[in-house]
């Protein structure tokens, strides 16, 4: 069965600093990978997705993620964090065909001024 691990429960960064959120997945074939963001009291919004092709994908709000098959990872990065980026971030994996999105437990991002 597919699974997703987000090893960091909380990440604290200063505004303007760079950010990397980690995500590792377990799946036999090439997975479909996603990052979602959830602001307090809101639903989940897609930041970016990887299906195939270029392993570095660009998303909304200045985020990017890199798929590394050898490390089974799909880490999310942003070069300069803004206070408005404070939120919960979820990595998800899905398989082709029937596809059922499976989510990690989430990483809470705290941004200090």
Partner 1 sequence: NAGVTQTPKFQVLKTGQSMTLQCAQDMNHNSMYWYRQDPGMGLRLIYYSASEGTTDKGEVPNGYNVSRLNKREFSLRLESAAPSQTSVYFCASRAGQENTEAFFGQGTRLTVV
Binding stretches for partner 1 (CB under 8 A): 6, 9, 32, 34, 36, 41-46, 49, 51, 90, 92, 96-106
**Rounded to an integer, what distance in angstroms lies between the CA atom of residue 12 and that of residue 112?**
7
Please identify, using beta-carbon distances, which residue of 81 and 104 lies nearer to partner 1. Answer: 104
Please identify, using beta-carbon distances, which residue of 50 and 78 lies nearer to partner 1. Answer: 50
CB of 108 to partner 1, least distance (A): 10
**Rounded to an integer, what distance in angstroms lies between the CA atom of residue 99 and that of residue 89?**
21
CB of 60 to partner 1, least distance (A): 12
Please identify, using beta-carbon distances, which residue of 99 and 113 lies nearer to partner 1. Answer: 99
């Amino acid at each position: 069965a597919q699974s997703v691990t987000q090893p960091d429960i909380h990440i604290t960064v200063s505004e303007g600093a760079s950010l990397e959120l980690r995500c590792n997945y377990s799946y036999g074939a090439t997975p479909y990978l996603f990052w979602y963001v959830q602001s307090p009291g809101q639903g989940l919004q897609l930041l970016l997705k990887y299906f195939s092709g270029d392993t570095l994908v660009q998303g909304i709000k200045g985020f990017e993620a890199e798929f590394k098959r050898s490390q089974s990872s799909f880490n999310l990065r942003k070069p300069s964090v803004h206070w408005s980026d404070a939120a919960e971030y979820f990595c998800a994996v899905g398989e082709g065909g029937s596809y059922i999105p499976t989510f990690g437990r989430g990483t809470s991002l705290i941004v200090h001024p």
